[in-house]
Chains A and B, each alone.
Chain A
Amino acid sequence: GAGVSQSPRYKVAKRGQDVALRCDPISGHVSLFWYQQALGQGPEFLTYFQNEAQLDKSGLPSDRFFAERPEGSVSTLKIQRTQQEDSAVYLCASSSSLTAAGDFNYGYTFGSGTRLTVV
């Protein structure tokens, strides 16, 4: 597709429920990132994939968070036993560049995000 697609756009989960958030990056983009953005804050890094390899997961807040990208394209972020503090917008970004922060001319391409509300 033309951009990074994320689904669902909105998700309401009951506390304790498991959720799965999907990211469809731009075709051919080798780098894929997940960020978490709380209300009124900047995005915070969660994890980074280069093709199917998860090279950095240092930003995942707890072992309830798990991400995968098994075939090097679509990625899923899974949150188990959701808590209220997990409520945030989850942003996915992709880049054709292998450098840490994306292409110098184009940066990352971000999706519109999934807004997760845990009640």
Chain B
Amino acid sequence: SQELEQSPQSLIVQEGKNLTINCTSSKTLYGLYWYKQKYGEGLIFLMMLQKGGEEKSHEKITAKLDEKKQQSSLHITASQPSHAGIYLCGAEQSGYALNFGKGTSLLVTP
């Protein structure tokens, strides 16, 4: 199955700072999904990328998929405490499932 590596594993940033989370695949990505999870809750869909070089933004979060479709990055501008949580990338695999990375835990301090 497709392995997804996320980096960093955890991140602590000061409020107002920018940050980037990376997701790297061992195989070509045909659909890359970003989700956010707060502790004890389910996953919330952020964005989905399909095409090489594609970039999408929602509020202060921007996600990109590289041209080779093996790496995606999630960038948060001017972080807020509300951005805290676990960010997970997921990729379509054969069959009917999404395969997820282990997640990046983000803490935003005042």
> Given the complex, which residues of B lie within 8 Å of A108, measured CB to CB?
43, 45, 98
- Measured between alpha carbons, how far is A55 from B94 in the docked complex, in Å? 13
**Which of A4, A31, A41, A101 meets B42, CB within 8 Å?**
A4
Q: A58 to B48, alpha carbons, bound, how many Å?
A: 25
Give the number of residues in A that approach B within 8 Å (Cβ atoms). Answer: 30
Name B61-110 residues within 8 Å CB distance of A. Answer: 88, 90, 92, 95-103
Interface of A is mostly: loop
A-B contact number at CB 8 A: 74
Which residue of B is nearest A58, CB measured? B95
Q: Mark A52-83, 1 if CB is under 8 A from B, else 0.
A: 00011011000000000000000000000000
Would you give the 0/1 interface string for A90-110, flagging 1 where the beta carbon is closer than 8 Å to chain B? Answer: 010100000011101111111
Extra contacts besides A4-B42, A33-B96, A48-B96 (16): CB < 8 Å: A42-B88, A43-B98, A43-B100, A45-B98, A48-B97, A58-B95, A59-B97, A93-B42, A100-B95, A101-B92, A102-B98, A105-B48, A108-B43, A110-B35, A110-B42, A115-B40
Q: Which 9 A-B pairs have the closest CB atoms?
A: A107-B45, A42-B100, A110-B42, A45-B97, A48-B96, A110-B43, A56-B96, A101-B92, A112-B42
